[in-house]
Chains A and B, each alone.
Chain A
């Protein structure tokens, strides 16, 4: 199993370095990327299959770990990356993805390698390093084959990303200072960021340092997730990037940051659950409110999905804030997993629709489902999952999270979330349903929309349905194991 973990960590790194190396020409780089992504997914599946439940296996001097959280998110991002590779290959074959294919595949693989290493990290600063590296790898991909607007969006993403992670790092340093003080002043307390060791820290030392560190850590991760108030990079980057890159940002990198949030919140909640909850609630409430306002006035469907992503990030923050028991935490984990597939499906469909119609403006599009049947259906199902309709996994997750808000006594938050969700539902329906079902001006002209170009999206929709209707026992057990880490020790 450890050998497979090494393969998972090093294979995309080697592939990325090879493809990015100057003077080395690789035959069909996108095919190579697809093959490597398939091997990666197989290895992740093997690790998940072989892993002993409720056990952690450390490797590479304990810097990396195979536990429930790393296995779940490794499998998740590997599947999404495989879907992205299939999609990118299709886009390349239809001539709708510009730029040097080797550079695109190489940078994507380097980004993915950093993401995998971040997910597997057992050391908070190591995880921070790999998240920074993943941001640096993907930033130039945002303007890959695009113009000045995309460059600006990429720059904005880079700035926010580095500042957000900087705050997180600062928070870690403050917590380290607090722990060092608590363990007997400057000479006695050993500085540790190994997650398994931090579980055993009982004294938190100087409470000022501790609270400052905690607040900065959550704020930093919130910035990376696109939570308000530091959210403005998110719609710009998601909108301007090529669709495959948007999926990598929204469903791969987002989940790596969620891993960091899970690890940190799980640890910190043991010491000061009130402060963590209050900060998460503040950011969550602000995010879903801001996102709803933007959704109401959206005119661009890709941007609308980007705002919905901010809404989802806010919901995750709120869910995590009120997750005081195992059932509530299970709802959050299920929501996160569903959210990854929903965003992958929607952004890939957006790319197909934009490639055919040449616009992202909602008002000029009508009857997409008639002109592009497969894209239209996939987009429609994605929107249903986005809005939390039954029987998708996101429906179950939302119900669990909302019911836990009432159980936990967060009635005001519950009421607020219900109002905002209703506004989002109405706004999305008003904007997107005519776009999907309206009368198309070129209804008679069916676009060549092959079934094969939606293989990845259809697989993701099947997974979403499965999460809502029947979750296999091993998957359910894995989700529960991750949920356990969120409620603190």
Chain B
């Protein structure tokens, strides 16, 4: 194991550990930890210093690592709607599914990049984040749970983006980070406005009544 693979192990931990706690605070902290780790993984690539690199660090460490958890923490504290918060149901079967997803992700990573162990680690970690994010989303556990799932998927995508040896053009990088910030703010709008119960069931119940 080298430094980079340590970071990937920590990243998987930041994704998986919140599943074991019924606490929205831990879930939000997990998102912040993922942001910090993304910045650290970028730093481990030793790119030459440039204005764009500084911007990328600011985006990953400050926005993803600090502002995002702070913002959702405040929004959730102001609207304490989700007293019984769960990302996935707390039982052995669900944890087994989560563990299987992580295992499959790393098998997938090693198959996709058989000759490049570092890349295989990164792909495995990103795939874990994507699949665990999808697992959280599929539980429809309320707005905050879905936000955690969504940003876990976003983190996985950002990890794959970091695989690229060349940075995006600077205007594009700025655009991507603006989208991220606006997505965060828009998601925050819904917190407290939607009840914590399942979203799909009630819509299905009203869909054929023909009234609004």
Contacts and interface: CB of A to CB of B under 8 A. Distances in A.
Nearest to B211: A359
Contacts of B154: 166
A132 B207 CA distance: 27
Main secondary structure on B side of the interface with A: helix
A155 B150 CA distance: 12
| B interface, size bucket | 35 or more
B186 A136 contact: yes
Interface string B169-212: 00110011011001100110110011100011011001111111
Nearest to B179: A132
A116 interface: no
B163 A173 contact: yes
Given A129-B175, A139-B186, A140-B189, A361 B199 contact: no
A35 to B, nearest CB: 27
Interface residues of A, number: 58
A136 B182 CA distance: 7
B210 A162 contact: no
Contacts of B211: 359-361
A236 B205 CA distance: 11
B166 A190 contact: yes
Nearest to A360: B210
Contacts of B203: 149, 152-153, 156, 236
A146 interface: yes
Given A180-B165, A209-B112, A361-B209, A163 B157 contact: no
A51 interface: no
A191 interface: yes
B200 A123 contact: no
A147 B212 contact: yes
Interface centre among A148, A149, A187, A193 (most CB of B within 10 A): A149
A149 B206 contact: yes
A166 B154 CA distance: 7
Interface string A121-143: 00101100100110010011000
Nearest to B205: A149
A77 B35 CA distance: 38
B163 A159 contact: no
A362 interface: yes
Interface string B157-169: 1001101111110
B112 A360 contact: no
Main secondary structure on A side of the interface with B: helix
A235 interface: yes
Contacts of B208: 298-300, 303
Nearest to A306: B207
A148 B195 CA distance: 9
B39 interface: no
Interface string A245-279: 00000000000000000000000000000000000
B200 A159 contact: no
Interface string A146-174: 11111111111011001100100110011
B146 interface: yes
B212 A149 contact: yes
Nearest to B169: A123
Given A136-B183, A170-B160, A301-B210, 15 more contacts: A136-B186, A140-B186, A147-B212, A149-B206, A152-B202, A163-B153, A169-B157, A173-B163, A189-B166, A208-B112, A209-B112, A212-B112, A300-B207, A359-B210, A360-B211
For the complex of A and B, list the 10 residue pairs with the smallest distance between their C-beta atoms, beginning with the closest.
A361-B210, A191-B166, A360-B210, A186-B165, A129-B175, A300-B210, A299-B208, A132-B179, A173-B160, A136-B186
